[in-house]
Amino acid sequence: MAPSADSDRPIGILFICLGNICRSPMAEAVFSHIVAARGLASKFHIDSAGTARYHIGEQPDGRTISTCNKHGVAVDHFGQLLVSRHFAEFDYILCMDEDNLRDCKHVKPKGQSRAKHGMFGEYSEDKGDRVVTDPYYGGLKDFELMYERIVRCSEGLLKQLLQVEKTRLEGTGK
């Protein structure tokens, strides 16, 4: 991961899944919670989107909200679609699975793009976390497992960003 440009602008992180109601809004909420707990909220612009139009304008799945609330993590999101402008707006576009990554590459505009895109799970120290599986057809247990995986990935992402984006994060005391 190479550092992004514009040292005075918040670091833009966009999480991607299929419908933007389970995995990516949970990742948005958890990562936001973690950076706020570290006193870094003002240094980040965090959001999420989906690669399909199924749930545009809808709140996240109730199981996503209840799982986050159980852990003291607030969820404030309405579904949106990944669009080409996101590649200019965000520094990092992080996908939950290979299908999301493939779809993301199809949306990416031709030529230069500010955003680096890849798999969110690659930031976890647990190599079994590379894919954040979709719990939509499962139960609360699956959402809890997803939450635990997203926490590991979020902690790994922040650890990496603290090294790579050090200049943009200076002055935070972290």
Catalytic residue check, 168: no
β-bridge mates for residue 45, sequence order: 12
Q: Could you tell me which residues come within 8 angstroms of residue 156 by beta carbon, excluding any fewer than 6 positions away?
A: 123, 124, 125
Catalytic residue check, 134: yes
Which one of the listed residues 91, 134, 153, 168 is annotated catalytic? 134
Phi, psi of 119 (to 5 degrees): -90, 125
Which one of the listed residues 22, 23, 91, 129 is annotated catalytic? 23
Catalytic residue check, 17: yes
* Residues known to be catalytic: 17, 23, 134
